[in-house]
């Protein structure tokens, strides 16, 4: 089973479109394909495939701190280790926990000398499964809004999809990351055979390509570059970045009205790649 991840530092370069078309290309070659939408804060592969997210297959939980005032000695050690500033210290009073800033890292309950911080389990996301056809399955991770840390949802969605892929003997798992270089993107990039970095021939495309290639290099992910809408901008803009990383353009996709129309109508399955 080959594990491929589709990424791109910049949003709107056609990363999800490429991931869906790549998956569909393999399906047309009679391969079994699992597509995993790891853009858990705003997944849209299901829209591109004309699907709906109706009933979740699984839920993702994380642990958050809850103060037991009967045990707390107001020492404020917990606040001093919280890197997220999620614990507000009030002199001579109990610390206050700010849920919106908490990542659930666990540092506070580990350091508390009086075991005054309990772990409260809370749902942070859902995992959906859509069967597109007998050889094509889509897994979608979806985070609850306003969470500080969402990479556990990416991790669990990938784990769930991988176990399903083993059961059906899938040929490919294709993960589609969010844009950017933050933690959920790193989580999606890990444990793959190689990555496609999708970019566009613009100055911003070049800048963000540099960021994502730097990240991939740091975490040891072999990366190939895909240039989308290759005939619309100035290709030369991304040449310095390619030179810096000793890479060439692996695939060029010209602007296509057919793809743009299919994208806007959620009918990418009909497009040949």
Q: Which stretch binds ligand SF4 (CB under 6 A): 10-18, 34-42, 108-116, 232-240?
A: 108-116
Does position 74 interact with ligand SF4 (CB under 6 A)? The reply is yes
For residue 147, state whether it binds ligand SF4 (rule: CB under 6 A).
no
d(CA 13, CA 25): 19
Binding piece for ligand SF4, criterion CB under 6 A, among 107-115, 179-187, 225-233, 240-248: 107-115
Tokens standing for 27?
Answer: 């399906």
CA geometry: angle at 58 spanning 124 and 108, to 5°?
Answer: 30
**Contact residues for 153 (Cβ-Cβ < 8 A; gap 6+):** 40, 60, 124, 125, 127, 141, 142, 143, 184
Q: Which of 31, 47, 51, 77 binds ligand SF4 (CB under 6 A)?
A: 77
Does 103 help bind ligand SF4 (rule: CB under 6 A)?
Answer: yes
Q: Name which of 56 and 84 has its Cβ closer to ligand SF4.
A: 84
Q: Residue 107 interacts with ligand SF4 (CB under 6 A)?
A: yes
112 binds ligand SF4 (CB under 6 A): yes
Among 78, 154, 178, 262, binds ligand SF4 (CB under 6 A): 78
What is the Cα Rg of the chain in Å? 21
Kindly indicate which of the ranges 114-122, 208-216, 226-234, 250-258 contains the residues binding ligand SF4, using the contact rule CB under 6 A.
114-122
75 binds ligand SF4 (CB under 6 A): yes
Q: Quote the tokens at residue 169.
A: 């003997």
Enumerate the H helices of 104-168 as residue ranges: 107-111, 151-167
Residue carrying structure tokens 């994502």: 212
Is 183 an interacting residue with respect to ligand SF4 (CB under 6 A)?
Answer: no
State yes or no: residue 114 binds ligand SF4 (CB under 6 A): yes
Q: Alpha-carbon distance 173 to 176, whole Å?
A: 10
For residues 20 and 49, the answer to whether their CB atoms sit within 8 Å is: yes
Nearest to 198 by CA among 263, 251, 259: 251
List residues binding ligand SF4 (CB under 6 A).
65, 67, 72-78, 81-82, 84, 86-87, 95, 97, 102-108, 112, 114, 116-117
């Amino acid at each position: 089973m080959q594990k491929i991840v589709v990424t791109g530092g910049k949003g709107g370069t056609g990363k999800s479109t490429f991931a869906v078309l790549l998956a569909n290309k393999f399906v047309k070659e009679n391969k079994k394909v699992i597509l995993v939408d790891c853009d858990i804060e705003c997944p849209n592969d299901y829209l591109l495939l004309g699907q709906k997210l109706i009933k979740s297959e699984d839920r993702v939980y994380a642990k958050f701190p809850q103060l037991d005032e009967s045990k707390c000695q107001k020492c404020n050690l917990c606040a001093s280790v919280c890197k997220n500033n999620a614990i507000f210290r009030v002199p001579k009073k109990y610390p206050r926990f700010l849920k919106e800033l908490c990542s659930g890292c666990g540092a506070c309950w580990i350091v508390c000398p009086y075991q005054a911080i309990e772990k409260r389990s809370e749902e942070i996301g859902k995992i959906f499964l859509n069967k597109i056809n007998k050889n094509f399955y889509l897994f979608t991770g979806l985070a609850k809004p306003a969470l500080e840390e969402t990479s556990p949802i990416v991790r669990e969605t990938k784990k769930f999809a991988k176990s399903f892929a083993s059961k059906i003997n899938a040929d490919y798992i294709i993960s589609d990351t969010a844009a950017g270089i933050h933690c959920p993107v790193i989580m999606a990039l890990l444990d793959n055979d190689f990555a496609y970095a999708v970019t566009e021939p613009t100055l911003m495309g070049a800048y963000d390509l540099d960021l994502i290639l730097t990240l991939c290099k740091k975490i040891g992910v072999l990366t190939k570059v895909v240039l989308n809408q290759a005939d619309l901008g100035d290709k030369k803009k991304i040449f310095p970045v390619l030179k810096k990383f000793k890479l060439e353009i692996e695939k060029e996709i010209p602007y296509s009205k057919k793809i743009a129309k299919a994208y806007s109508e959620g009918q990418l399955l009909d497009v040949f790649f």
